[in-house]
Structure 1
Amino acid sequence: MRNHESVWESGMTAIDKALRSAADRVLTSVQTVIDGKPEAASIALTVLVAEGHLLIEDVPGVGKTMLAKALARSIGGSISRIQFTPDLLPSDVTGVSVFDQAAGQFEFKPGAVFANLVIGDEINRASPKTQSALLECMEEGQVTVDGRTWQLPNPFMVVATQNPIEMDGTYALPEAQRDRFMASMSMGYPDPRAELAMLRSRESQSPIAAVRPVIDTEELAGLIAAARAVYLSPTVEQYLLGIITATRAHPDLRLGASPRATLQFARAAKARALLDGREYVIPDDLSDLAIPVLAHRLLPSRQAIARSGTTEALTSAEVVRSVVAATPVPRG
């Protein structure tokens, strides 16, 4: 996250100070667990405040689940973890109706998705049918089983991890599933200094054991409400739409950004502006978030992948980078 101390310090009201304190506590809590990855912690907090869902994709052992756990434990709400496996059933996720012989009627047994923050570990190791159980949950915040609908807790966030699809035992996430994640990111390997510090500090115990809630759901609701109220000017709106529409006409893409991507891009930018101490969105908020918010939704053409000589994800990221560079930035 960019330095925003001076912005927050000038003219802060009491509510501004409370919001700043709440955001900083979460960020600090997550960073105590994830060594040398401040941007990863920043994106996770941005998505949380923007009421989105986060997808973390990378090779095993780089801290994907650790980041999800640290974020979950820092929030004073209910937490649930789902370990996605090939034999996991949709009813394990959403819940099931069980006949109660004593009462003579069916009783709904909530699934693991009924929590404020749901960790979906290795989501692409489950079958597409089980993955699709999250579609309604993530989009509408509810579950429908046997014709009846149950509302999920509010706030509600899914933090899912997945291994690269090139690895054995994985299924590619459907486009409809990927599009419901507000942002996607990779952890990457730590730098040598951070890895040395990790080696020395984790000999006795895991740092996740010391993480405790640093804000409650009421404070989180205040952050979310403040993010919604951040101002998005008409000129910045046009910049946002310029980036979105450029992906739909780009010759290297088979699938551009959806209208859902437009809405989530705006919400993420508002959250980033709030966390940077501003009541308005600037073009930098959009350019900083363009790759995390847009790249995972795009489908590059086979020719573009072959020409770049990289993976689909890296090709999509490069396309987004070129689109942002070519889109005129509003001035004034």
Structure 2
Amino acid sequence: MSAPTAGGADLETLARVVARIRSNVERVIEGKPDVVSASLVVLLAEGHLLIEDVPGVGKTMLSKALARSIDSTVRRIQFTPDLLPSDVTGVSVFNQDTREFEFRPGGIFANIVVGDEINRASPKTQSALLECMEERQVTVDGTTYQLDTPFMVIATQNPIEMEGTYALPEAQRDRFMARVSVGYPVEAAEIAMIGTHAGASPLDDLEPVTDAAEIRKLTAIVGQVYVSDAVQRYVVALTGATRRTDDLTLGASPRATLHLVRAAKAYAAMDGRDYVLPDDVLALARPVLAHRLLLSVEAAMSGRTSSAVLDGVLASVPVPDGHRS
């Protein structure tokens, strides 16, 4: 018996909710529809989002706008060099009255966690997120605490060339489903921003347009989107090709394969389809895979980037016909 697929009514519901969230976020982030779409894909695919760019282009505004659009618990963690792992996960404190240890949750205990400037914290503190992001749980002093769903980490980081930053470890980068760059706004959007942002922050007036329960329903709909054998083989061929090229010392992991499939299912659902096309995979390959790749010394010295190497890999793998069989 085949697994159930997303129905037309389900996809219409998803489209309505996504449109409300998109409209809400675009009140704050103007002229960046691709970045907003990528953020919504990651939300529906139950992933985590890394927003990388120079200071002042709206990384934190984007993350806060997405968080405020959903009526759920939201916590913000400002990552600094003196931030401790216990500030993220929580700590057991001895209660003098009860003569017992009691757990005080850290900043990670929320549906949406905004991690600002994540690469300004030490690697030890960054590693406190590993279990949380992958297993949706926190272990402190031998006791495991489950995190509520939905659970999404939206982290911002400055380019590693900036002063006072620590490069994210490979294991940390691999847990982010996608990395996006906001970029500078076009002239018209920047002029419009002066009128809307100069007096007060548009975040102040942003109201939730959905809630955590509805997001759980949408992620269940995305989970029913069909992925054909041909598309599955195509995804595996893409990630496998990154492991064989001499330009990379670290290719895409099996986790990256799973993330690419899950993101493609969300992308298809947002497009009103209950099945994934190869074009969905191609559209998401760069934001999902590029940040996980590690260049070889020769490729780095020649001035190549991981995105450029990935483009070559994508061009070398044959694309299957678009069908759902």
Question: Unaligned stretches of 5+ in structure 2?
Answer: 1-6
Q: 1:316 aligns with which of 293, 306, 311?
A: 306
Counterpart of 1:238 in structure 2 is: 233
1:328 matched to 2:318? The reply is: yes
Give the secondary-structure state (helix, strand or coil) at the position aligned to 1:167.
coil
Distance 2:177 2:167 in 1: 18
Question: How far apart in 2 are the matches of 1:318 and 1:286?
Answer: 17
The CA distance in 1 between the partners of 2:278 and 2:260, in whole Å, is 12
> In structure 2, what is the equivalent of residue 98 of structure 1?
93
Aligned to 1:77: 72
Cα distance between partner residues in 1 of 2:8 and 2:139: 43
Q: Name the counterpart of 2:41.
A: 46
1:190 is matched with 185
Q: Distance in 2 between matches of 1:213 and 1:70?
A: 9
Query: Which string of whole-angstrom CA distances, capped at 9 and with x for unpartnered residues, describes residues 78-122 of structure 1?
Result: 000000001100000000000111111000000010000000000
Q: How many Å apart are 1:203 and its aligned residue?
A: 2.2
Structure 1 SS opposite 2:19 = helix
Taking the aligned partners of 1:207 and 1:278, their CA distance within structure 2 comes to 33
Q: Secondary structure at the match of 1:114?
A: coil
Whole-angstrom CA distance in 1 between matches of 2:241 and 2:218: 32
| 1:134 maps to 2:120 | no
Q: CA deviation at 1:251?
A: 1.2
Amino acid at match of 1:97: S
Query: 1:13 offset after TM fit, Å?
Result: 4.2
Report the CA distance between 1:210 and its aligned residue. 1.4
User: How does 1:116-131 map onto structure 2 within 5 Å?
Assistant: 116-131=111-126
* SS, match of residue 56 in structure 2: coil
Taking the aligned partners of 1:203 and 1:259, their CA distance within structure 2 comes to: 46
| Match for residue 169 of structure 2 among 174, 179, 183 | 174
3-state secondary structure, aligned to 1:144: strand
In the superposition, the TM-score normalised over structure 2's length comes to 0.95
Residues 54-96 of structure 1: per-residue CA shift (max 9 Å, x gap): 0011100000000000000001110000000011000000000
1:278 to 273, 283, 292: 273
Q: CA deviation at 1:14?
A: 3.7
Deviations 1:167-204 (A, max 9, x none): 11000100000000000111110111111111122222
| 2:285 equivalent to 1:295 | no
Supply the distance in 2 between the matched residues of 1:15 and 1:267 (Cα, whole angstroms). 17
Structure 1 position 67 matched with structure 2 position 57: no
| C-alpha deviation, 1:18, in angstroms | 2.0
Partner of 2:3: none
For the residues of structure 2 that align with 1:316 and 1:75, how far apart are their CA atoms?
A: 34
What amino acid sits opposite 1:202 in the alignment? H
Once the two structures are overlaid, the 10-residue window that deviates more, 113-122 or 192-201, is 192-201
Aligned alpha-carbon RMSD (Å): 1.0
SS in 1 for 2:75: strand
Point out the more displaced range, 167-176 or 199-208. 199-208
TM-score normalised by L of structure 1: 0.93
Ranges in structure 1 where 5+ consecutive residues have no aligned partner:
1-11
Please, which moves more after superposition, 267-276 or 201-210?
201-210
1:15 is displaced (CA, Å) by: 3.3
Q: Supply the distance in 2 between the matched residues of 1:316 and 1:236 (Cα, whole angstroms).
A: 24
Letter in 2 for 1:183: A
Equivalent AA in structure 1 for residue 313 of structure 2: V
2-side partners of 1:162 and 1:15: how far apart?
35
In the alignment, is residue 16 of structure 1 matched against residue 11 of structure 2? yes
Percent identity (aligned): 61
Given the alignment of the two structures, is residue 164 of structure 1 paired with residue 164 of structure 2, yes or no? no
Matched with 1:217 is: 212
1:31 CA drift (Å): 1.1
d(CA) in 2 for partners of 1:301 and 1:13? 46
2:299 is equivalent to residue 304 of structure 1:
yes
Provide, for residues 180-237 of structure 1, a one-character-per-residue CA deviation record: whole Å limited to 9, x for no partner: 0000111110111111111122222111111111011111111100111100000111
